[in-house]
Amino acid sequence: MASQQPEAGTSSLPALADYADTEAATGSAHSTPASSIPATSVFPFLELPRELRDQETTQIYDCVLELPDTRGERALRIERRHLKYFKPSAASFLLLLHHEYFLLDRQVAAEALESLLKNHTPFLSCGPFVLQSLFTRIEEEPAGQGKQWLRWMRKIELDWITFPNLAIYPPNRENGKDEWPWEADDIEVDVEYVKGFKDTEMSYGDDTGYNDEYDYEGDGYDDNFYDPVDMDLYPSFEQPTSSMIQQPAGEADDPFGLTTIYPFSDPSSEPDHDTTSQETLYTKLDLLISLEVTPLFTYFSSPVFSLSSITLPLYFISKSSLHHRSAARPGYALPLKLRYWVAVAVHALLLLCPPDGGSPALNEVRIKYLAWDIWANMDPSDDIYSMPEKGVWFKDGDGREGQGEAFRAVWNGLFERGLDVSNGALDATVKLVQWHGDLEQWRVGDELDVVFTRAGKGKEKAIQ
């Protein structure tokens, strides 16, 4: 060990090298059990002068942060309940971002957080309102360090693994009651088999008799059903009152529509598909975007942040699914969650290239273009292997009709907001990222890494 040379970047730490040589000469580093090593034999890492420790700790923190995280995206999510308990500090910020292995002491946590925000890309998997609320609390941190943390943050990656069920968005808080529609139907339900229920018979040895049917802090937690009575956990909105809802003529006398029901249908007739519920979901999606997405990106464009890059996902679906969805509802070929990410991509690209000629808030937007599900991998609607060469603009006459539905939706959304990408306002770099069979990454199949920059800042090119 005494003959080994320090690695690159450690030559400025003679004290560390001398300590290693001394330990090797005495043999105490390996010849005695760890339990018998006195406390004085532990290298006093935090007692090094700051000017020496900065260079070394940056390398150590970066090395740890660059290790692949195999816990999966669901394990790295940020949940709505965190709003109730989060109090800004370096340790709580790291815990929120699931880097709990740095929580050794306050000094290590502060140094690790600085390295994470300055040199790496924090993964933020939560809803826009939750993210903005957390960042606002960090900004208002009493000691004033929160603003510095947000200024250090140069790159972020967005995701939302707990995307809500829009059929119950936003939750009903009429008269300030925490009451869902099915809770007022006077129907008794046997909760013995409800997820999260515990009692003395079902707890497998736990005789506390604890019933957590309504305790969404435990195993039964769901972002869709969390404290709708708490106004701080959801964006503000105005619930329509009964006087605001206009009923069609005759509906007041027949509230259940019984007069229009004929119990015997003609088997030769085509089914009449009711699209009311689907239209309601897309209206809720517009509400979600206006209440959460737009305010978040307005916040990102404020002087509080100095972001340079935002990474977000975008998906392609299977060819058969695209065909059936296009035939059933023209103009709505993409799944609801995919349309959400189209809207997020539009907001991000508007920060990159403002149509009014304003000052851009980003230098790049990075999109991870991947399969929606396993069926999209087996029968993809897009030829992702030709896209590094042909690009992602999908212009008329390029022989790719029926492909690039998600990117086409993004370009249409930008055009509606005054940014026409057909005139070369954006450049794109398209790279094929091959999958090497690593199941620990919780994804299957090849994907594309698409980096958008303003025209003149980059040049569309293929990288194999």
Average pLDDT over residues 131-152: 93
Would the pLDDT of 360 be above 70? yes
User: What φ, ψ does residue 426 adopt, rounded to 5°?
Assistant: -125, 150
Which of 29-33, 91-95, 298-302, 361-365 is least confident?
Answer: 29-33
Would the pLDDT of 293 be above 90? yes
Alpha-helical segments (H) within 37-126: 50-65, 82-85, 90-96, 106-119
Hey, is 416 helix, strand or coil?
helix
Hey, is 366 helix, strand or coil?
strand
Distance, in Å, from the CA atom of 341 to the CA atom of 272, rounded to the nearest integer, reads 31
Percentage of the chain exceeding pLDDT 70:
64
Distance, in Å, from the CA atom of 20 to the CA atom of 14, rounded to the nearest integer, reads 10
Q: Please, what's the largest Cα pairwise distance for the chain? A: 96
Alpha-helical segments (H) within 100-188: 106-119, 128-139, 145-152
Average pLDDT over residues 441-449: 82
> CB-based contacts of 88: which residues, under 8 Å, 6+ apart?
137, 138, 140, 141, 146
Would the pLDDT of 261 be above 80? no
Would the pLDDT of 275 be above 60? no
Amino acid 36: pLDDT: 54
Percentage of the chain exceeding pLDDT 90:
37
pLDDT in tens, 39-71: 556 667 677 666 656 665 667 788 888 887 878
**Which residue has better confidence, 55 or 97?**
97
Q: Is 269 left (phi over 0), alpha (psi -120 to 50) or beta?
A: beta
**Which residue has better confidence, 432 or 442?**
432
Distance, in Å, from the CA atom of 125 to the CA atom of 163, rounded to the nearest integer, reads 10
Would the pLDDT of 242 be above 50? no
pLDDT in tens, 300-335: 999 999 999 999 999 999 999 999 888 888 878 899
Amino acid 203: pLDDT: 43
Sign of CA dihedral 342, 347, 351, 354: positive
Q: Which helix (H) or strand (E) holds 143?
A: none
Q: Residue 220, exposed/middle/buried by CB under 10 A (0-12, 13-18, 19+)?
A: middle
> CB-based contacts of 267: which residues, under 8 Å, 6+ apart?
none
Would the pLDDT of 128 be above 60? yes
